[in-house]
Amino acid sequence: MTEDILQYERLVHYMANKYYFKGEYEDLYQAGMLGLKEAFLHYDPIKETDFVDYASLYIKGEILKAVNSEHQIKKSRELLKLQQEIRQTKEELTQTLGRNATAREIAYVLNEEISTIEQAETLMNPVYSLEQELGTEENQNLYYQISMTEKAYDAGILDLKTALERLEQQEKQIITSRYYEDRTQQETASVLGMSQVQVSRQEKKILQKLKTNLTS
């Protein structure tokens, strides 16, 4: 099997290079090779699926896992300090005003731009991930199911296709840009004429909507 795997090593190098700027190349390469081995273990030639297309999904999946595990959002000291100030200011204003303080009020007190406060608050919230498990069964997460949509390998993927088709046009554009075209939130915002904060908020709502529809 080793010789069979090595003949597709170039495919792993190609995909590792694609994500090289997001992580250490050797780590991405090793993850890609793991994906290639998994592809060989699960590939069924009877289905007449092109192996390169099939393996690419496994390789990409493992590389993205490596990227996500090694490159979680790293908050700078300045951001951590700002977030602490936001919490303190919000508590003080809430007590003074008798209601929840707005981003504009917090920005005024801290002498910061409203967009800066909104972005800092966004990073304080939990982030929905495509790796988030949807159930107890193996491979029941959004990333796996969306990836499988490309080849429709899983019979249960029809539910996801239906859920995606029900999304509004802008919601579809955000999901396509973020998870099919591998754009960052900032890149997606530029393409769709939105702010990064708007994309972040919409993305979380969309993923929650998909999760709810798939688990209901």
**Domains along the chain?**
1-73 (1.20.120.1810), 77-124 (1.10.10.10), 128-216 (1.10.10.10)
Lowest mean per-residue pLDDT among 48-57, 155-164, 190-199: 155-164
Model confidence over 10-61: pLDDT tens digits? 889 888 887 776 567 888 899 999 989 988 888 887 765 788 888 888 898 8
**Torsion-angle region of 132 (φ positive above 0: left; ψ -120 to 50: alpha; else: beta):** beta
Q: Are 204 and 132 in contact (CB under 8 A)?
A: no
3-state secondary structure of 133: strand
Q: In the chain, which residue ranges form alpha helices assigned H by DSSP?
A: 2-6, 9-18, 25-42, 51-70, 77-97, 103-110, 114-124, 142-149, 157-165, 169-175, 185-192, 196-215
Return d(Cα 31, Cα 58) in angstroms, integer.
10
- pLDDT for res 89: 93
Nearest to 79 by CA among 141, 25, 115, 123: 123
Count other Cβ atoms within 10 Å, centred on residue 106.
22
The confidence band for 100, taking pLDDT boundaries of 50, 70 and 90, is confident
Task: Provide the whole-model pTM.
Answer: 0.36
Structure tokens at 180: 């099919």
Mean of per-residue pLDDT scores for the chain: 77
- pLDDT for res 105: 92
